[in-house]
């Protein structure tokens, strides 16, 4: 039987396998977690050696990571600061910017709303077509959007950044899934009021490393670093980030493989009776009139997907590996 704690976790964000296992104790193990947009086939380069884990992270290594990441983003290193995941930057934005009003293009990743409301800032969700006319002190756009993959084009975001900079208003673009749509990134732009957030863990499949980045004007980066302190990320995050962002061949190969697997997954879901409504190459959105029942049936098969309280007919699937696809196919057939 599903308990309230599990359902709250399931609809708020992906993950929460321990609560899922407790709610469905008879489900087969191991669980297959398709509730997030984390690449299930991670970059497999070296972690930090034991000697580096035995001491505090080195500032020189941090600078090296930020330089390597900046090159991958097309940005100046002076505009890039590493954080313990994009989430850490999201939670610090209200303290850094100190504005009175925020508008967030939604529905989207809930942490943005949580962070601003917790800081006492007047916050409201707006529709995508309202974004260009926003007069709020901060406008937040997640691109590609989480959870539905809605994509704002680079040219439109660049124009918006110019206009808001001229008016002294901030534009925050959360590019946590931008590796799935690299041509629409604005990480390389240097507009004064543009802030870009990047996530390492999703595309590189290493969410547990807790590594992300803020890209912004150098003076804002200096203020962010003062809030983060001398050791904002771990030795493992430093080593993994330096290696992965420098691995251009892996990045291109993985991007192509994810796109192919997403197409295969869409075909499987349509055959199982779902309507495919979009997403990215790391997750696919679907609709079904009995989405709640099918979510439960998949949990009984040890497969965790992502339901939504704001859209009861929606169900999101992370893109599985080729070896896990047959298990999902069997569960979908059984639960149809």
Q: For residue range 153-174, list pLDDT tens digits in order.
A: 999 999 999 999 999 999 999 9
pTM for this entry? 0.95
pLDDT-based confidence at 13, cuts 50/70/90?
A: low
Q: Average pLDDT of 36-65?
A: 97
Does 106 share its domain with 233? Answer: yes
Does residue 2 have a pLDDT over 60?
no
Domain count, the chain: 2
pLDDT-based confidence at 1, cuts 50/70/90?
A: very low
246, 279, 301 - which closes a domain: 246
Does 94 share its domain with 191? Answer: yes
Does 126 share its domain with 272? Answer: no
Which stretches of the chain are assigned E, i.e. beta strand?
Answer: 32-33, 80-83, 101-105, 122-126, 138-142, 170-174, 194-199, 212-215, 275-280, 283-287, 303-304, 306-307, 314-318
Does 254 share its domain with 189? Answer: no
Does 178 share its domain with 106? Answer: yes
Alpha helices in 169-290 (DSSP H): 218-228, 235-246, 248-271
Does 90 share its domain with 192? Answer: yes
Does residue 55 have a pLDDT over 90?
yes
Does 174 share its domain with 223? Answer: yes
211, 246, 281 - which closes a domain: 246
Name the token pair of 240.
């993994």
What domain range includes position 265?
A: 4-42+250-335
Say what percent of the chain tops pLDDT 90: 93
Does 163 share its domain with 203? Answer: yes
Does 193 share its domain with 317? Answer: no
184, 219, 246 - which closes a domain: 246
């Amino acid at each position: 039987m599903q308990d309230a704690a599990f359902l709250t976790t399931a609809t708020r964000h992906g993950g929460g396998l321990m609560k899922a296992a407790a709610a469905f104790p008879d489900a087969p193990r191991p669980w297959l977690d398709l509730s997030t947009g984390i690449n299930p086939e991670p970059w497999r380069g070296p972690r930090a050696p034991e000697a580096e884990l035995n001491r505090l992270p080195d500032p020189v290594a941090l600078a090296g990571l930020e330089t390597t990441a900046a090159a991958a983003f097309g940005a100046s290193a002076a505009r890039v600061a590493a954080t313990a995941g994009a989430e850490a930057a999201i939670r610090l934005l209200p303290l850094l910017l100190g504005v009175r009003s925020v508008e967030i293009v939604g529905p989207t990743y809930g942490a943005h709303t949580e962070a601003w409301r917790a800081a006492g800032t007047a916050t409201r969700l707006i529709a995508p077509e309202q974004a260009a006319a926003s007069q709020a002190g901060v406008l937040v756009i997640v691109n590609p959007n989480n959870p539905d993959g809605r994509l704002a084009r680079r040219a439109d975001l660049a124009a918006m950044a110019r206009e808001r900079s001229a008016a002294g208003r901030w534009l925050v673009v959360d590019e946590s899934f931008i590796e799935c749509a690299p041509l629409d990134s604005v990480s390389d732009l240097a507009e004064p009021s543009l802030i870009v957030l990047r996530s390492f863990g999703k595309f590189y499949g290493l969410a547990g490393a807790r590594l992300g980045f803020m890209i912004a004007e150098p003076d804002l980066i200096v203020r962010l670093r003062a809030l983060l302190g001398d050791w904002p990320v771990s030795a493992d995050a430093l080593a993994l980030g330096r290696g992965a962002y420098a691995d251009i061949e892996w990045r291109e190969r993985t991007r192509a493989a994810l796109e192919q697997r997403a197409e295969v997954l869409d075909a499987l879901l349509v055959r199982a009776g779902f309507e495919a409504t979009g997403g990215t190459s790391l997750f696919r959105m679907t609709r079904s009139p009995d989405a709640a029942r099918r979510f439960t049936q998949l949990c009984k098969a040890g497969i965790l997907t992502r339901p939504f309280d704001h859209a009861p007919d929606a169900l999101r699937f992370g893109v599985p590996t080729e070896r896990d696809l047959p298990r999902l196919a069997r569960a979908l057939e059984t639960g149809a």
